[in-house]
Amino acid sequence: MVECFEKNNIKRTIASAVVLLIATFFVAFGVAEISFPESILTFTDHDWLLDIWPKAYRYNIHLGVAACVICGLLVIPAIKLQKDFAIRALEVLCRFGIGGMFIFASIFKIQDPHQFATLVAQYQFFSALHMDFVNNFFALVYPQFELWFGLAMIFTPFVKESAFAIFWMFVSFIIALAWALWNDLGITCGCFELEGAQDKAEAWTSLIRDLILIWPTLWLAMRKNRSLIGIWKK
């Protein structure tokens, strides 16, 4: 009877892992459609689709949000199948996903702080507060926060502190993007590229992405401090 229970438990764990892998694909596809519409993970930029439906590219945000919603729905059966395994696996996936994204986002800014400072100035946020001198300091310090907290999220046990810091970075991004949209500023968010003025839709896509990703970050901030290996210890 014990052996039968163990076999059933293994089957449920495998099924939960498969569902989580599918959910991971959907969230990767969703974030790519929202933020990187011309990457290998996207669908709306394919020539054959554009030949059939020339305006398909306009719906990349819709597809991205739908994919993220599907990911969230898939987490429910994964947890029901094997709750303990699913929660541990979700923590690992979220730490790698969010931490890796912040590490990647920091590289371009650290390499070209002058261009990043120019982009920060385009938000006109500090100018409105008569604090233009903060632009350069912000451009030098913020990418370092992204890099080190991203690394800490993955490679150290201090997940609560790292996630808490990243959560407030997301809050600052959301405020800045909302400010840009409110003032009708057609600028790119500067998260993964340092180009200048863009279509206003760029700010909307970035805002939607941040509003989605802030929730798993908040969840991580409520987890116990432990290393990636420690997650799997009883």
d(CA 115, CA 118): 5
Tokens of 80: 């029901």
CA-wise closest residue to 212 among 105, 63, 42, 72: 72
User: What ranges do the domains of the chain cover?
Assistant: 1-81, 94-234
If you search the block for the tokens 């199948």, which residue do you land on?
81
Over range 170-184, report the average pLDDT.
84
CA-wise closest residue to 34 among 196, 220, 211: 211
d(CA 232, CA 194): 39
- Provide the 8-state DSSP code for 57: G
d(CA 50, CA 126): 41
CA-wise closest residue to 42 among 29, 56, 58, 57: 29
d(CA 69, CA 42): 16
CA-wise closest residue to 132 among 140, 142, 124: 124
SS3 183: coil
Tokens of 225: 């401090």
Over range 38-62, report the average pLDDT.
77
- Backbone CA torsion sign across 160, 161, 167, 170: negative
The number of CA neighbours under 13 Å toward the Cβ of 142 is 21
> What does the pLDDT read at residue 187?
65
Contact criterion met (CB below 8 Å) for 229 and 143: no
Confidence check: pLDDT of 124 > 90: no
User: Sorting pLDDT into bands at 50, 70 and 90, what band is 194?
Assistant: low
> What does the pLDDT read at residue 159?
94
Q: Tens digits of per-residue pLDDT, 67-121?
A: 999 999 999 999 999 999 999 999 999 999 999 989 988 888 888 888 887 777 7
Contact criterion met (CB below 8 Å) for 177 and 188: no
User: Sorting pLDDT into bands at 50, 70 and 90, what band is 193?
Assistant: low
> What does the pLDDT read at residue 221?
93
Confidence check: pLDDT of 197 > 50: no
Confidence check: pLDDT of 2 > 60: no
DSSP string, 176-223: HHHHHHHTT--B---SS----B--THHHHHHHHHHHHHHHHHHHHHTS
